[in-house]
Amino acid sequence: MQDEPSHAFPFIEQTAQLWSSYKAFTEEQIRRRYPLNPGYHVMIIVIASSTTVEYVLRAMYENTLGRASWLLGGQQLTDEDRFGAKTAQEYVDFIRQEPWYLFDFTVRLKQLWTDVPLWGPGVVRKWERRYALTTEYAIKAIYAQLIAKATRATYTPALMTTDVVDHLPDGCRAPHGVTMMERLPNGRALLSLPRYFNFRIASTSLALQGVHIDDIAGNASVILVSVWMKNDARLPAGGRQVLFEQKLTTPADSKRVAFLMPVDDLSTFLANAPEMGLTTEHVYDY
C-alpha cells in the first residue's frame, strides 16, 4: 500500500491462504491425535471469519468505487492513501507482539481528520479515500472493543516471555530482551526470551553466537517454523515434515513453507537458513 492503490491488494487470495492454513493445521492435529483445545479453535474461527467478511467486502468496494476514484483522481496516491499505508504499517508492527484488538483505531480516525489536508490534488480520490478509511477505522474501533471485552472474560492474559534451556558457550552476550534466569549444570542455562515476532529475532541472535536451544517452555519434541523461499527451490533435506506450501504475492516468485522440525535442530537451522536460501518468517514458540 505504500506504492500501490488499495484495489491492487489480493484480498481474496489472502483469505484463501488463511483458511487453507487452518485446514492444514487441523488435519495435523487430528492425525497426531493432539488433545483438542476448543478455546483456540473458537479464537481462530472468529479471527478468520472476521477477516473473511472484511476482505470480501473490501475487495468488492475497492474494485468498484475504489478503482473508479483511482481513475478519476489521475491514478496518483493522495495524502489519504499515504496515511492509510502508514497506519497499515503501524498496525502490522503492533500485531507482531500484541493482540489486534488493542490497536487504537480511534486515534487514527482522529488523526485522519485533523492531520491530513482536506483539499489537494486528486480531490475525488481524496474524499473517496477519506470515506473508506473513516468507515474502516470506525467499524474496527467498535468491533475491537467488543472483542477485547469478550477475550478478557474468556482467556487469561498472554505471557509475553517464554523460558528456554540451552547450552551457553563462554563469552555469549544476551541479545535485547533476553534475560539470564539461572545457570544450570554442564554449561546449560535457563533464559527468558520475548515471544511471538521477537522470539525469532532473539533465538536467531543466540544461534549465531553458538547457543544451542534444546527446550522451549518445557517442549523438547517438535516446533513449527515457517520460511520464505523461491518457488523453484526445495527445502533442504533433514528431519522436517512439511505441513503446507503457499505461493506468495509478495515477495514475488516466492512461497511460504510451514514445517515441523525437532526443537534440538532449531538453533542450527536458524543460523544456517540464509546459506540455504531461506528467509525464516516465524518460529511458533508454543
Q: Which residue has the cell 489537494?
A: 120
Q: DSSP letters along 214-235, please?
A: EEETTB-SEEEEEEEEETT--P
Average confidence score pLDDT of the chain: 92
In a domain, 112, yes or no: yes
The model's pTM is: 0.85
Over range 188-195, report the average pLDDT: 91
Whether residue 220 lies inside any domain: the answer is yes
Both 195 and 126 in one domain: the answer is no
Task: Provide CB contacts within 8 A for 192, sequence distance 6+.
Answer: 161, 162, 163, 178, 179, 181
Domain that holds residue 65: 6-154
pLDDT in tens, 33-84: 888 889 889 989 999 999 999 999 999 999 999 999 999 999 999 999 999 9
Please tell me the predicted confidence (pLDDT) of residue 252: 81
Q: What share of the chain is helix, strand, coil (3-state, %, to 5)?
A: 50, 20, 30
Shared-domain flag, residues 11 and 98:
yes
- Are 132 and 194 contained in the same domain? no
| Domains contained in the chain, number | 2
Strand partners, 193: 162
Sign of CA dihedral 19, 24, 27, 29: negative
> Can you tell me the distance from the alpha carbon of 15 to that of 227, in angstroms, rounded to the nearest whole number?
19
Could you tell me if residue 1 is inside a domain?
no
Mean pLDDT, residues 107-117 taken together: 97
Q: Is the pLDDT at 261 greater than 80, yes or no?
A: yes
Q: CA-to-CA distance for 219 and 215, rounded, in angstroms? A: 5
Runs of H (alpha helix) within 116-213:
123-154, 197-208
Main-chain dihedrals φ then ψ at residue 9, nearest 5 degrees: -75, 135
For residues 34 and 125, membership in a common domain is answered with yes
138, 154, 170: which is the final residue of a domain? 154
> Which candidate, 85, 133, 135, places its Cα nearest to that of 112?
133
Peptide bond into 35 cis (omega under 30): no
pLDDT tens digits, 136-167: 999 999 999 999 998 888 777 777 788 888 77
- Show the cell assigned to 127: 474524499
* Residue 119 sits in the same domain as residue 185: no
What pLDDT is attached to residue 260? 92
Joined together, the cell numbers standing for residue 25 give 493445521
- Among residues 252, 270, 283, the alpha carbon closest in space to that of 211 is found at 270
Query: Does residue 180 share a domain with residue 84?
Result: no
Last residue in a domain, options 125, 154, 183: 154
Residue 216 sits in the same domain as residue 260: yes
Model pLDDT, residue 122: 94
